[in-house]
């Protein structure tokens, strides 16, 4: 049986719009469901990463539409990676190491 799903999404924010990007998460977080964990980390001055852990594949698929709607609302704040707004990866947990 397949278990938890993680997605990792990298964003590059236009200079001067970092605070706007972070503030945009207030409404986004209010609509989260089916998610175990949601973190936003900052890589450098302009790059951020979403780390999302979903209960299962169904929750991940359900959140995808909600996430894309949010992404559409912040596209004007982003620099593109070529033709893409983000760099994104997702997959199933195959081994969980706990301390």
Task: Write the pLDDT tens digit of every residue in 33-56.
Answer: 778 899 999 998 899 999 999 988
- Close Cβ partners of 34 (under 8 Å, ≥ 6 residues apart): 54, 55, 58, 59, 60, 62, 63
Assign a CATH topology to domain 5-88.
Alpha-Beta Plaits (3.30.70)
> What tens digit of pLDDT does each residue of 28-37 get?
887 777 788 9
**pLDDT of 12 over the 70 cut:** yes
Identify the pLDDT of residue 95. Answer: 83
Beta-ladder partners of 49: 10, 41
Model pTM? 0.87
Structural contact between residues 98 and 65, judged by C-beta atoms closer than 8 angstroms: no
């Amino acid at each position: 049986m397949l278990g938890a799903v993680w997605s990792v999404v990298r964003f590059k924010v236009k200079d001067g719009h970092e605070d706007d990007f972070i503030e945009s998460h207030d409404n986004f977080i209010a609509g989260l469901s089916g998610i175990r964990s949601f973190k936003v980390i900052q890589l450098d001055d302009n790059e951020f990463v979403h780390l999302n852990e979903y209960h299962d594949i169904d929750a991940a698929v359900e959140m995808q539409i909600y996430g894309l709607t949010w992404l559409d609302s912040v596209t004007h704040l982003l620099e593109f990676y070529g033709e893409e707004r983000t760099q994104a990866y997702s997959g199933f947990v195959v081994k969980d190491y706990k301390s």
